[in-house]
Amino acid sequence: MNKSWKDPSFGAKVKCPPGEEARSYMRIWHSRAILGTAGSPCKGSAGFALALQTILAARRGSAYDFYMNNSRDDLSVAGTERGADVTPLYGGRNRFAGFPAPRRRRGLRAVPLRVILPNLVTLLALCLGLTAIRFAIDRQFETAIVAVIAAAILDGLDGRLARVLRGTSRFGAELDSLADFVDFGVAPALILYLWGLHEIKSFGWFAALVFATAAALRLARFNVMLDDPNRPLWQSHFFTGMPAPAGAITGLLPIYLNLSVLAVPNTHATAPFNIAYVLLIALLMASPLPHFSGKKIGRIPREYVLAVLFGIAASVLLLATFTMEMLIGLTLVYLGTIPFAIRSYKAHLAEDAARQAVKATAQGAQAAEPK
């Protein structure tokens, strides 16, 4: 009596012929690929169970994906090689067409440490800006100023660190802009308002809002200009508008004058002058006036190395000893460089225009020549 078995996976009914002691070889492609044998023997119900386990194990194997897309219902040919009577139920269709595709898990990619370090410096600068606000609320304005200056130093280091480590990323650029707005827009505005701008209540708060808004506009314009492919190379020597860190440090000049040996009084009478100065700095940040960037400073000549090292060391010592007085001097020096930056920028523009005119003239002459 013939024994038959219907494979629910492959849609084929297999009849084992008599005379072979109910033995046949179910030659299933992907089972053969996994086991590396010519076929799987089916002998009675135990043989059928073994074949079914083989099929299920093959589905979980790596070769299952291949046979889902490449094997066809040619089980009849494979069965008749051993004398088995095989009736195909799927015809020429793919026998795996009804199975759902296996899900692939997406793992989180590892982030290199060289990308994380610059972002940690940026976060530290952000924490310093927020801490400056806290010190201003506690009326510790000198400590708040030191925190803003430290945030400005870290802001200058994180970008250079990212370029040195080749860890620049879009995420780091966006995080740096948000941190700069807090450190050099929100924090200085609140420090100034809590220190003396509140003497003329609504107008002082208006000046603080204008300062923070100008810093935000300045940072947004800087991010947009980075994506300009047609920007001349010489423009990298200049900032368009006063940089946000410089605006924060120069905007705090009224507090420097009050806390220094000059002891300029902070009264209701001096508040209008302080508000006017803060609005002027905000205008410089939002304006298109050029400022020296200092990013393209090249190598220092060997004969000036000792003098530069001595000057840096002396400046740091003076800044630590006479903090407010040194900040007054640095602020006035920086403001004094603005006319020279404008003049240098216009000179570069004139050279660029002359170069373009010569190029256009040469192209016109070349086009006018007879061919």
Res 2: pLDDT: 46
Q: Is residue 362 part of a domain?
A: no
Higher pLDDT, 359 or 144: 144
Cα separation, 232 vs 189, in Å, equals: 34
Q: Is the same domain home to 326 and 187?
A: yes
pLDDT in tens, 249-260: 999 999 999 999
pLDDT at residue 88 above 90?
A: no
According to the model, what pLDDT value does residue 168 have? Answer: 83
Same domain, 260 and 153: yes
Q: What is the CATH number of the domain that holds 167?
A: 1.20.120.1760
Tell me the average pLDDT of the chain: 77
pLDDT band per the 50, 70, 90 thresholds, residue 233: confident
**Do 252 and 339 sit in the same domain of this protein?**
yes
- For range 316-337, the mean pLDDT: 92
Could you tell me the pLDDT band of residue 56, with boundaries at 50, 70 and 90? low
**Judgement on whether residues 179 and 319 belong to the same structural domain of the protein:** yes
Q: What is the pTM of this model?
A: 0.67
For residue 100, is it within any domain? no
**Within a domain: 326:** yes
Q: What is the pLDDT of residues 236-252, one digit of tens each?
A: 788 888 999 999 999 99
Last residue of a domain, one of 88, 108, 132: 88
Range with lowest mean pLDDT among 121-125, 186-190, 228-232, 361-365? 228-232
Neighbouring C-beta atoms of residue 4, cutoff 10 Å:
12
Q: Indicate the range of 110-119, 186-195, 257-266 predicted with least confidence.
A: 110-119
Answer yes or no: do 212 and 141 share one domain. Answer: yes
335 falls within a domain: yes
For residue 127, being part of any structural domain is answered with yes
In which domain, by residue range, is 26 found? 3-88
Q: What is the mean pLDDT of residues 163-169?
A: 84
Instruction: Specify burial of residue 288 (Cβ count, 10 A radius: 0-12, 13-18, 19+).
Output: exposed
Within this chain, do residues 177 and 277 fall inside the same structural domain, yes or no?
A: yes
Residue 258 in domain: yes
Encode pLDDT of 191-207 as tens digits. 999 998 988 878 999 99
Residue 356 lies in a domain: no
Given a cut of 70, is residue 70 above it in pLDDT? no
pLDDT at 26: 43
Q: Show contacts of 56-62: CB within 8 Å, 24+ apart.
A: 58/28, 58/30, 58/31, 58/33, 58/34, 59/9, 59/30, 61/30, 61/34
In this model, does residue 11 exceed pLDDT 70?
A: no
Query: Do 136 and 272 sit in the same domain of this protein?
Result: yes
What value does the mean pLDDT take over residues 295-313?
A: 81
Please check whether residues 336 and 214 belong to one and the same domain: yes
56 and 168 part of one domain = no
**Count of the separate structural domains present in the chain:** 2
